[in-house]
Amino acid sequence: MNNEKVHAIIGPQSSAQAKFVANLGEKAHVPILSFSATSPLLTTNHNPFFIQTTQDNSAQVKAIAALIQAYGWREVISIYEDTDYGIDLILYLIDAFQEVDVRFPYRSVISLSLKDSDILEELKKLKAMQTRIFLVHMTASLGSKLFLHVKNSGMMSEGYAWITTQGLSNWSVTIDSKIMDSMQGVLGIRPYIQISKDLEDFERR
């Protein structure tokens, strides 16, 4: 970075990539700009040379809590990947759910290294539980695999409810038809930005 006289770096996509590059940027005094890293820990307080241009994950927890409260659900099982991306949000959700008297009777942590047979075994365990409301927070690659198994396990039928966080909801518009079919009926959280003159000017530029 110093030899090439880098002025800025644009593009770390995941939060894990952004944390690594932000550390390098701080040492070299080079600003890092990301359009998609969403970890709430990636703030300028912790990383003075990192610029996060999207809402962090913590911004969606109140919307998720409000959705669950609107349906009158009292228990939700969280399913999230065993990475910083997966774990960071759950800490915020616990606080938000306590405010609306909703609890996690069980948290299912899915490792990226799990085989299909391991995921099926975990779904079998979830199917045997009384709670049928599931909140899924994971990246697209793992989420697509999970929902194919959910569909094949008969857990997308009446009596079950599935909610996805912003990452999976945003990604769902680009998935193939087979995966989209497996996600029919899933509720997703997506950000809303009100149309304004400033927004139109920004899009035009």
Tell me, yes or no, whether 41 and 126 share the same domain. Answer: no
Q: What is the pLDDT of residue 175?
A: 64
Tell me, yes or no, whether 39 and 68 share the same domain. Answer: no
Domain annotation covers residue 36: yes
Domain annotation covers residue 205: no
Count the alpha carbons within 13 Å of 150 in the hemisphere toward its beta carbon. 29
Tell me, yes or no, whether 64 and 126 share the same domain. Answer: yes
pLDDT in tens, the chain (205 residues): 888 889 999 988 777 788 889 889 999 999 999 887 777 777 777 788 888 887 777 788 989 999 999 999 999 999 999 987 788 888 888 888 999 999 999 999 999 888 999 999 999 999 999 999 999 998 888 998 999 999 999 999 999 999 999 878 877 655 677 888 888 899 998 888 889 999 899 889 9
Tell me, yes or no, whether 19 and 64 share the same domain. Answer: no
Domain annotation covers residue 15: yes
Tell me, yes or no, whether 64 and 111 share the same domain. Answer: yes
Q: What is the pLDDT of residue 132?
A: 96
At 65, the amino acid letter reads: A
Domain region containing 143: 58-188
**Alpha-carbon distance 13 to 169, whole Å?**
16
Domain annotation covers residue 131: yes
Domain annotation covers residue 203: no
Domain annotation covers residue 197: no
| pTM confidence score | 0.81
Tell me, yes or no, whether 62 and 36 share the same domain. Answer: no
Number of domains in the chain: 2
Pairing of strands 32-34, 161-164: unpaired
Q: What is the pLDDT of residue 187?
A: 92
Tell me, yes or no, whether 138 and 169 share the same domain. Answer: yes
Tell me, yes or no, whether 154 and 173 share the same domain. Answer: yes
Domain annotation covers residue 193: no
Tell me, yes or no, whether 28 and 116 share the same domain. Answer: no
Tell me, yes or no, whether 177 and 82 share the same domain. Answer: yes
CATH code for the domain in which residue 164 is found:
3.40.50.2300
Domain annotation covers residue 67: yes
